[in-house]
């Protein structure tokens, strides 16, 4: 049942936007900054040590770099949606298949380590909420049909538990758990650092953002 929490989180963000109908995303920057620091800290405290303990260090580093490159490649199609930035034309009426596909690949992969490392689930939930809100704002305010936006969010929501299920039930996937998790670490490292860099855009000091970033690091350290 706990693996369905990502679905609940994504759909909660969607229905929140559906009810409030915001045109912009006020306050989401702070939530993004918190999610980025929490995801980064959880990756460093939980996933990274377990991978280096159970694999060759150079091989693990290679797969982590592969994850970083994979995420950079996916962002050519998602336009940065994974870290809370939508650079898509809101006036287009064509269904954004490439955006959905890239987000589904990302969401499926992030479900893989949950089967063996449940604490990462909480970081994924914190990461998904602001992304779901920003995606929902784009979809609801776009010229797409309402059912298209809802279908988009449902598919996106289902991918993470699907990744967890496949990783847990498939022997072939289980054999590749370590390299797959190392790839996910690379994905998480890229996303979380981009969020943190973008949260301090222009290199201007922002005390509120600094506080929420430190809070995310501290909470992850105390919990895990």
**3-state class (DSSP) for residue 85:** coil
Looking at residue 40, its pLDDT comes to: 95
The structural domain count of the chain equals: 1
pLDDT recorded at residue 42: 93
pTM of the model: 0.88
Question: What residues make up the domain containing 113?
Answer: 2-20+27-223
The tokens of 32 are what?
Answer: 């993004």
Report the pLDDT value the prediction gives residue 89, as an integer from 0 to 100: 58
| Mean pLDDT, the chain cut into blocks of 10 residues (224 residues total) | 85 90 70 92 91 86 96 86 66 80 93 81 91 89 88 95 88 81 94 81 69 93 83
Q: Which pLDDT score is estimated for 88? A: 58
Label residue 176 exposed, middle or buried (CB < 10 Å: 0-12, 13-18, 19+). middle
Q: CA 108, CA 31: separation in Å to the nearest integer?
A: 23
């Amino acid at each position: 049942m706990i693996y369905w929490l990502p679905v609940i989180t994504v759909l909660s963000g969607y229905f929140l936007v559906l009810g409030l109908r915001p045109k912009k995303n006020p306050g989401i920057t702070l939530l993004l900054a918190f999610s980025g620091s929490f995801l980064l800290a959880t990756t460093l405290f939980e996933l990274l040590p377990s991978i280096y303990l159970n694999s060759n260090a150079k091989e693990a580093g290679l797969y982590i770099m592969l994850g970083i490159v994979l995420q950079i490649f996916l962002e050519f199609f998602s336009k940065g949606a994974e870290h809370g930035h939508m650079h898509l034309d809101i006036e287009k009426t064509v269904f954004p298949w490439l955006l959905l596909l890239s987000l589904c690949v990302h969401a499926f992969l992030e479900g893989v380590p949950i089967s063996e490392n449940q604490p990462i689930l909480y970081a994924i939930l914190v990461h998904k909420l602001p992304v779901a809100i920003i995606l929902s704002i784009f979809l609801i305010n776009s010229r797409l049909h309402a059912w298209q936006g809802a279908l988009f969010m449902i598919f996106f929501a289902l991918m993470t538990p699907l990744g967890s299920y496949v990783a847990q039930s498939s022997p072939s996937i289980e054999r590749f758990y370590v390299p797959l998790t190392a790839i996910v670490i690379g994905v998480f490292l890229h996303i979380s650092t981009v969020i943190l860099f973008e949260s301090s855009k222009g290199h201007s000091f922002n005390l509120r953002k600094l506080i929420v970033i430190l809070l995310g690091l501290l909470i992850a350290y105390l919990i895990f």
